[in-house]
Amino acid sequence: MSARAWMLAACAVATLGGCAIGPNYQRPQTPDVAQYRLDTGALAIAADSDWWNQFNDPALNALVDAALAGNYDVRIAAARIDEFRGQLMVARSGFFPQLNLSAAAARQSIGRLSGTQFASGTVTGNSYQLLANASWELDLWGRIRRQAEAAEASLWNAEYARRGVVLSLAASVVQGYATLRGLDAQLDVAQQTLASRASGLDIFRQRYEGGVISQLELAQAENDYYVAEGSIPPLRTAIAQTENALSVLLGRPPGPIERGKPIGELQAPPVGADLPAALLSRRPDVLQAEQTAIAANAQLGAAQALYLPAVNLSGLFGAVAASPAALWDSASRVWAFGAGLTQPIFQGGAIRGQVQSASAQREQAMLAYQGTVLAALADVNSALANGVETRTRLGSLRRQEQSLFIYADQAFARYEGGYSSYLEVTNAREKLFDAQLAAIQGQVDVLTGTAALYKSLGGGWPAVPEPVRGAGMQGDAPVLTR
């Protein structure tokens, strides 16, 4: 058979091998949930991929952008994408013939009639060769296609993992910033309270020295002062710790963090969510779990293909001569074409073991995907409930704070009028101080809860376009951007 006939036959066989052995991927069944437990109305809260902009604080936006650029976990996740892109290139290389060019030169001495009884003397000479070798495994059963499909799914898996890291990082920065601004506000309240009580304590000491009040009342005023004074060091410590934690998220040494709007001016968007089905196309952990299932499904097909014969084509073309110049003579040319078939007969259960292992891994991945969807639904339901309840609690705390302002003023007026003891004033002031700190913490909880809701919804990542499918492939490798 001529070389041209060999090539035509190879192309025909490759064309016939259009299907891939093994099951085609089907998304596992997931619960058909039409709405969340807490019906807050369908609001596309996560429509903006840069969702942290909705807090309307330029300083916060700058911190998140700095974290996305400098955080080491994000940079590691991006490097992993390059790793899996390289693995995909390796897997897809099996679709093409492997070509190699080799050159060699040797000088050798061989005895005349060496190995016979007539051996005498030697023949010394040079040899040169320049050869092109080609080999190609025909993917008749789709084994290579399944391996490439698995490699592509692993690449998408790495991309969704990166998105998950970015989402978690942005949420952590927002929550850390809200916590920091809350601590700043609590420190301001504590310092103002301390200044107010220091002024009152000076008056009480003068009264005590003048014999107007008893030592009991002076001790109560001193207690009020020291309570306020003792609340400041823990707040300063917490501020430093929060700044250090945020610095690490930003990928820089611990240090001060830029501030923007005070906690009272940071407005969280209203609580709401898309329909549950949107999670399947946006939430990174769900998308990542599905790509794991796709890869495991493809690996099962690749394992099943090991039962079937492998057909390899090979070819050689070049020249062998006694001098470099003679390599270009037509008389020095050598060529060869061939085909080989390998059919496993007995492997001691090795192939069956690989198929069984791949089947079990596929089952695990399918179940893991279903479990991830359930966990995602629970996460959103919990975040929605937390968002509504923290807002309700904040309203109660603010009303309590207003009531205690009145209570503290009235208690002091009653004391000054001689209608009650100073103990009532101390009690009212302590309650007011605690209520002020609690109200600020309530504002922090609303903001951090909103960030948690964005995270649970997938952060507004646009749905990944459906890849162009064909010949058992998932499509081209993703073009990765932040």
pTM of the model: 0.82
DSSP state of 460: T
Residues of the chain with pLDDT under 50: 1-17, 42-47, 462-482
The b-or-e profile of 211-240 (16+ CB within 10 A means b, else e) is eebeeebbebbeebbebbeebeeebeebbe
| H helix or E strand, kind and range, residue 420 | none
Q: What is the pLDDT of residue 464?
A: 38
d(CA 156, CA 166): 15
pLDDT tens-digit readout, 236-292: 999 999 999 999 999 999 999 999 999 999 988 765 566 677 777 788 999 999 999
Q: What is the pLDDT of residue 109?
A: 73
Residues with Cβ within 8 Å of 287's Cβ and at least 6 positions away in sequence, in order, are: 156, 160, 163, 280, 281, 464
- Enumerate domains of the chain plus CATH numbers: 24-98+142-309+351-456 (1.20.1600.10)
Q: What is the pLDDT of residue 149?
A: 93
d(CA 335, CA 319): 8
Amino acid at 22: G
Q: What is the pLDDT of residue 328?
A: 85
pLDDT tens-digit readout, 124-153: 788 888 899 999 988 889 899 999 999 999
